[in-house]
Every structure is written in C-alpha cells, then in structure tokens.
Structure 1
Amino acid sequence: MTLTLQIILVLASILMSVFVLLHRGKGGGLSSLFGGGVQANLSGSTVVEKNLNRYTVIVAVIWILCIIGLNLIQAYGL
C-alpha cells in the first residue's frame, strides 16, 4: 500500500508541475514585462485553459490525498 501511494505521489507531482507550467501567464510576471501580458489579456479564457485548470485541481487533490494517506500509514502503522 505504501509503495503504491508513493508511486502515485511521484506521478502526481510530475503531472502537477507540467500542468502548472502549461498555464498561460496572467500578467504581472516576467511574461508581461516583455509584452506577453498584453497578448494574454486580449485573448479570452479558452476551453483548453478551463480544462487545464480542472486537471490541475484534480491532480492537486490526488497529491494531497496521497500525502495524507502516507502520513496516516506512518503514524498508525496501517
């Protein structure tokens, strides 16, 4: 059980990193400093961006549940 949760945790961590890096800049960062913010503000939120948000939240919930599960296993020796 512990090994399974650890593998899922590593995969969720990698996926969450990729999904966060795939998000478009919302302005205020380095992308807007070089003119990327103007283009991001002109285009609306697309279906792809909304789905990417949903997938990021789902992977984050899985990541948190794996951490809680591993902590419970370590604390109670389940």
Structure 2
Amino acid sequence: MILALQIILVLAAVIMTVFVLLHKGKGGGLSSLFGGGVQSNLSGSTVVEKNLNRYTVLTALIWLVCIVALNLLQAYGN
C-alpha cells in the first residue's frame, strides 16, 4: 500500500510539473505549441486552457491526498 502511494505521488508530481509548465504565461507559454494559442477575442481563455486548469487542480489534489495518506500510514500504520 505504501509503495503504491509513493509511486502515485511521484507520478502526480511529474505530471503536475508538466501541466504547470504548459500553462500560458505572459509570453504565451508552452501551451501555444499544442493549440492553446488560438483564442477567441470574446473569451478570456480557451477550452484548452480551462481543461488544463482542471487537470492541474485534479493532479494537485491527488498529490495532496497521497501525502496525507502516507503521513497517516506512517503515524498509525503497522
């Protein structure tokens, strides 16, 4: 159980790093390479950017749950 949580934690950290790097910054960011640069003048952000935000938050929640679970297993496990 602990090994599985550790693996998920590392994968979530790597995926979250990639998602954060894909976000659009002041200069356009890496998300413009994958279609994030095509914007409508009427909307503030594209569907790609909104989905990227959702995936980033979901990955961060998974990362946080793994940290809490590992801490609880270490404190009260065995």
| Bin for the TM-score computed over the shorter chain | 0.7 to 0.9
Give unmatched runs, 5+ long, in structure 1.
Answer: 33-42
Query: Which is richer in helix?
Result: 1
Residue 18 (structure 1) aligned with residue 18 (structure 2): yes
> 2:53 is aligned with what amino acid?
N
Give the match for residue 8 of structure 1: 8
Task: Kindly state the Cα deviation for residue 77 of structure 1 after the two structures are TM-superposed.
Answer: 1.3
Aligned-residue identity in percent: 69
Give the match for residue 75 of structure 1: 75
TM-score by length of 2: 0.77
TM-score by length of 1: 0.77
How far apart in 1 are the matches of 2:71 and 2:55?
24
Can you list the C-alpha shifts for 1:34-78, whole angstroms capped at 9, x where unaligned?
xxxxxxxxx630000000000000000000000000000000015
> 2:71 is aligned with what amino acid?
N
Query: When the two structures are aligned, how many residues end up with a matched partner?
Result: 66
How far apart in 2 are the matches of 1:75 and 1:20?
31
How far apart in 2 are the matches of 1:60 and 1:52?
12
| RMSD after superposition | 2.0
